[in-house]
């Protein structure tokens, strides 16, 4: 959530950032916020003044009664009653203004970093790196949805029977390679200095709000109505919310967490060839990395996270590219996002397998996640921290690319780094 003080003091910068993200009616909304903020401050000032006067009058009543001046005491009592009534009116008005202010403020997305390119959609994203050689497949090579049926390692029909479309059943070597990837990704993260956590996969409304899924993506999450809990769309949500309403000691920074969870997304409105097979699911597995940083260190941390995710793709021997997302294709809460895409040889297209993002103070402001930081120029000051997260990695499209890129006429080769984890080097 953007800070009101920043919006008020940097109106043109705020408007420029909102326009880069193609936020509709930016000037109208910002003007409304500034007007409401002024009303809030004026109302608070008047309320403080009325309460001060009320306290003074209340203190005078006793003295007047003791002095025997009943007429003056009664007048003071009447004035005190009027002041109390006025303070109630002002208090009610202040609460309504604050409610209206909050409701409007949460509609604003995060402002993009200065390096974010202009653009409206995926075609406008900037390719900043490519790695690896795109494989040349044998004649009659197949997309992964045909390969998994051929080798009987994932059953979509059984998933439909049990749950519905988008809930596949992994079996045999399909289940073992899933477990292998999860363990490999977790082990690599531990080597890189991340602490593993195993969070809940159901969250309350406060947690969804804290990381920005609510109210922005409410329709994309599964909701357990009886208990008013949401199934997580990513481990980012519960892991980051570990630090909601927390003041972190400076000597504990940076925080580096990693966690594996299943993820659940309704993906409402998704259809077409691009969602076939493992390309888009309602339930999938993912290993997520989360960092909490001092503001001055967060962009160096983002580059480090990007390089870390790339190192996983290199170890899996998958050709990939890195994109810097344009303003119109970025997430609601992100200030800067890098997408990593792997080449799907049989589908002949790039598949997003990771997004690594810096949210700056946007999530921290919602979470009230702060630290008292010593800047060396006086007493330590309370400041909002920066939050970052990234997929490291999401399993479905990684598996799809492994199956397609490594297929041969008589089987599928497993990347060497996964062989010790899954116990086989081929699917045949």
* All domains in the chain, ordered by first residue: 4-105 (1.10.287.40), 122-427 (3.30.930.10)
Q: Token match 């008292």: residue?
A: 372
Nearest alpha carbon to residue 412 among 118, 199, 138: 138
DSSP 8-state code for residue 294: -
Question: Is the pTM of the predicted complex or chain greater than 0.85?
Answer: yes
**DSSP assignment string, 363-405:** HHHHHT-EEEE--SSSS-EEEE-EEEEEEEEEHHHHHHHHHHH
Strands 411-413 and 407-408: antiparallel
What are the pLDDT tens digits along the chain (428 aa)?
999 999 999 999 999 999 999 999 999 999 999 999 999 999 999 999 999 999 998 888 888 888 888 888 888 899 999 999 999 999 999 999 999 999 999 999 999 999 999 999 999 999 999 999 999 999 999 999 999 999 999 999 999 999 999 999 999 999 999 999 999 999 999 999 999 999 999 999 999 999 999 997 888 999 999 999 999 999 999 999 999 999 999 999 999 999 999 999 998 555 455 678 999 999 999 999 999 999 999 999 999 999 999 999 999 999 999 999 999 999 999 999 999 999 999 999 999 999 999 999 999 999 999 999 998 888 999 999 999 999 999 999 999 999 999 999 999 999 999 999 999 999 99
CB-based contact 212:363 (threshold 8 Å)? yes
Cα-Cα-Cα-Cα dihedral sign, residues 123, 127, 132, 133: positive
C-alpha separations of 74 from 60, 61, 67 in Å: 11, 8, 13
What's the pLDDT at 268?
Answer: 58
Please report the pLDDT score of residue 274 as a whole number: 63
């Amino acid at each position: 959530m953007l800070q009101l003080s920043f919006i008020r003091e940097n109106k043109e910068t705020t408007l420029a950032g909102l326009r880069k993200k193609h936020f509709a009616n930016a000037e109208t909304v910002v003007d409304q916020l500034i007007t409401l903020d002024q009303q809030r401050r004026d109302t608070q000032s008047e309320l403080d003044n009325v309460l001060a006067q009320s306290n003074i009058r209340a203190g005078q009543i006793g003295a007047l009664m003791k002095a025997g001046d009943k007429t003056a005491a009664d007048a003071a009592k009447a004035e005190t009653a009027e002041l109390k009534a006025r303070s109630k009116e002002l208090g009610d008005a202040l609460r309504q203004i604050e409610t209206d202010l909050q409701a409007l403020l949460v509609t604003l997305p995060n402002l993009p970093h200065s390096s974010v390119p202009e653009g409206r959609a995926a075609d406008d994203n900037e390719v900043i790196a490519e790695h690896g050689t795109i494989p040349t497949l044998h004649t009659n090579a197949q997309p992964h949805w045909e390969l998994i049926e051929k080798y009987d390692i994932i059953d979509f029909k059984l998933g439909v029977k049990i749950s519905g479309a988008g809930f596949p059943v992994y079996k045999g070597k399909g289940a073992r390679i899933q477990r292998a990837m999860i363990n490999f990704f977790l082990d690599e993260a531990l080597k890189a200095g991340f602490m593993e956590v195993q969070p809940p996969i159901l969250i309350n409304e406060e947690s969804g709000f804290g990381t920005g899924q609510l109210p922005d993506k409410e329709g994309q999450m599964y909701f357990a109505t009886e208990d008013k809990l949401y199934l997580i769309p990513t481990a980012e949500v519960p892991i980051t919310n570990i630090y909601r309403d927390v003041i972190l000691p400076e000597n504990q920074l940076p925080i580096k967490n990693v966690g594996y969870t299943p993820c659940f997304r309704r993906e409402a409105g998704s259809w077409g060839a691009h969602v076939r097979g493992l390309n888009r699911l309602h339930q999938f597995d993912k290993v997520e990395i989360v960092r909490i940083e001092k503001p001055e260190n967060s962009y160096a941390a983002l580059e480090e996270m990007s390089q870390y995710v790339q190192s996983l793709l290199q170890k899996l021997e998958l050709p990939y590219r890195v994109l810097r997302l344009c303003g119109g294709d970025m997430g609601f809460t992100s200030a800067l996002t890098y997408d990593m895409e792997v080449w799907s040889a049989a589908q002949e297209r790039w598949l997003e397998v990771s997004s690594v993002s810096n949210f700056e103070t946007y999530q921290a402001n919602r979470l009230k996640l702060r630290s008292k930081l010593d800047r060396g120029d006086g007493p330590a000051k309370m400041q909002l921290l920066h939050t970052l997260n990234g997929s490291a990695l999401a399993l479905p499209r990684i598996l799809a690319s492994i199956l397609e890129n490594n297929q041969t006429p008589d089987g599928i080769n497993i990347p060497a780094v996964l062989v010790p984890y899954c116990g086989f080097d081929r699917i045949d």
